[in-house]
């Protein structure tokens, strides 16, 4: 059998790929799975008439996963609709944060390893300093400081839109700012290993510039462990986004929001998680399986790219 695809035929990894394909499929076909109402401003939350006297309504035709409302208000949300549309937010957030944090970390680690010596020592010191930084403190810091720095205005140019995207959501900025360190660390280890190899020396001898060597020869050879990390991180970031939404630190994970609403009905006196399972468990399972899918994909990629290390 072909060596290159064999690891993916192990059922765990295949399962991971299937889960991710499922979520991507749901994200793409969301308008068909959960058609938004025509003539209204789009929102990932669909309010449905209150049919169970201010209490969550159980699953029934038209409401596959029932409804849940915030505390004892009459505004009930269609859980299925929100979970389907939340897939888009989750994928967008996970992929964007991983892409930005990962590419910054890889660049940092590669540049530091490429120049080596004193530069490497200083840059890795900075990296070590950031490793001691808890994500939650970083996010809290940005949530608190950004409103003073950046006044949201309607973006006009592309650059402004990017700024707007980052600064309008301090959570995302905090995630990028405080999660690039593992990438830098792992890339740096690889970079120091191949720095003195002949093909880099040859490229230098041929008079290639620093930038050319870095991007053409250096980074492509050392990026594979970082890609494995990235696959696992997509799931981890979405889980963390939901966590921060849940504890009220900003972030707009719809899955997290459903869990906030659901929590009220199961941990307050008289709540029963088995009786009202639909307010918490479906959203929790969606979140957990999303994380598992990316984790399995990471394991599979790891075995595929570094077969010797993982065995």
Partner 1 sequence: MPPIIRFIASRLFSIFVTLFIVTAVLFGIVMLTPPDIRATLYMPKTNRPLTDEQYQALVEKSIEKYHLRDPYPVQYVFWLSQWVRGNWGWSPILNDDVLKALIRRTPVTAELTLYSLLVFIPLGLVSGVVAAQHRGRSVDHYFRLSAFIATSLPIFTLAVVLMAIFYVMLPWFPPERLSTPLYLFVKSTSFHQYTGLLTVDGILNGRLDISLDAFRHLILPVFALSLAHWATLGRIMRSSMIEELQEDYITAAKARGIPMHILYWQHAFRNALSPALASSALSAASLFTGVSVIEIIFNIKGVSEMFLQSFLGIPDAAPALSFAIYSVIVVLIVMLGLDVIQAIIDPRIRETSIS
Q: Give the Cα separation of 236 and 215 in Å (integer).
A: 28
Q: Give the Cα separation of 220 and 192 in Å (integer).
A: 14
DSSP 3-state assignment of 76?
strand
At its nearest, how many Å lie between partner 1 and the CB of residue 156? 22
| Interacting residue ranges for partner 1, rule: CB under 8 A | 125-126, 128-138, 140-141, 143-145, 147-149, 239-240, 242-243, 246-249, 259, 263, 266-273, 280, 284, 287-288, 291-292, 295
At its nearest, how many Å lie between partner 1 and the CB of residue 106? 18
106 vs 240 by CB, closer to partner 1? 240
At its nearest, how many Å lie between partner 1 and the CB of residue 16? 11
99 vs 129 by CB, closer to partner 1? 129
Contact 105, 99 (CB under 8 A): no
Tokens of 246: 């849940």
Largest CA distance in the chain: 78
1 vs 132 by CB, closer to partner 1? 132
At its nearest, how many Å lie between partner 1 and the CB of residue 35? 29
192 vs 249 by CB, closer to partner 1? 249
At its nearest, how many Å lie between partner 1 and the CB of residue 286? 11
Contact 226, 179 (CB under 8 A): no
Half-sphere exposure of residue 81: CA atoms within 13 angstroms, side-chain side: 19
At its nearest, how many Å lie between partner 1 and the CB of residue 32? 29
Contacts of 265 by beta carbon, 8 Å cutoff, 6+ apart: 55, 56, 68, 271, 276, 279, 280
Crossing angle for the helix pair 181-194 and 117-131, to the nearest 10 degrees: 150
21 vs 247 by CB, closer to partner 1? 247
7 vs 218 by CB, closer to partner 1? 7
Q: Each residue of 167-196: b (16+ CB within 10 Å) or e? A: bebbbbbbbbbbbbbbbbbbbbebbbeebe
Contact 86, 164 (CB under 8 A): no
At its nearest, how many Å lie between partner 1 and the CB of residue 87? 17
77 vs 139 by CB, closer to partner 1? 139
At its nearest, how many Å lie between partner 1 and the CB of residue 305? 17
9 vs 273 by CB, closer to partner 1? 273
Handedness of CA 240, 296, 23, 272 (dihedral sign): negative
Tokens of 91: 């994928």
Closest-CA residue to 48 (of 21, 73, 67): 67
Crossing angle for the helix pair 224-246 and 79-115, to the nearest 10 degrees: 140
């Amino acid at each position: 059998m072909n060596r290159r695809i064999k690891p993916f035929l192990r059922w765990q990894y295949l399962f991971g790929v299937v889960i991710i394909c499922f979520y991507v499929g749901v994200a793409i076909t969301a308008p068909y799975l959960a058609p938004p109402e025509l003539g209204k401003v789009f929102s990932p939350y669909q309010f449905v008439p209150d049919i169970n006297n201010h209490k969550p309504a159980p699953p029934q035709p038209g409401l596959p996963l029932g409804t849940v409302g915030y505390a004892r208000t009459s505004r009930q949300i269609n859980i299925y609709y929100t979970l389907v549309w939340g897939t888009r937010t989750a994928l967008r957030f996970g992929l964007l944060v991983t892409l930005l944090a990962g590419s910054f970390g890889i660049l940092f680690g590669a540049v530091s390893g490429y120049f080596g010596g004193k530069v490497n020592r200083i840059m890795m010191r900075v990296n070590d300093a950031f490793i001691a930084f808890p994500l939650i403190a970083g996010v809290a810091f940005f949530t608190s400081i950004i409103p003073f720095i950046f006044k949201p205005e309607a973006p006009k140019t592309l650059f402004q839109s990017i700024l707007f995207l980052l600064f309008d959501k301090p959570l995302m900025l905090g995630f990028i700012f405080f999660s690039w360190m593992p990438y830098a660390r792992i890339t740096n280890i690889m970079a120091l290993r191949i720095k003195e190899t002949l093909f880099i020396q040859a490229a230098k001898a041929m008079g290639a510039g620093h930038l050319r060597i870095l991007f053409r020869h250096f980074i492509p050879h050392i990026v594979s462990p970082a890609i494995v990390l990235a696959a696992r991180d997509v799931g981890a970031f979405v889980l963390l986004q939901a966590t921060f939404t849940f504890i009220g630190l900003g972030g707009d994970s719809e899955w997290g929001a459903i869990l906030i609403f659901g929590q009220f009905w199961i941990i307050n006196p008289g709540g029963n998680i088995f009786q009202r399972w639909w307010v918490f468990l479906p959203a929790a399972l969606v979140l957990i399986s999303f994380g598992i899918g990316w984790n399995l994909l990471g394991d599979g990629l790891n075995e595929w790219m570094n077969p010797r290390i993982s065995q």
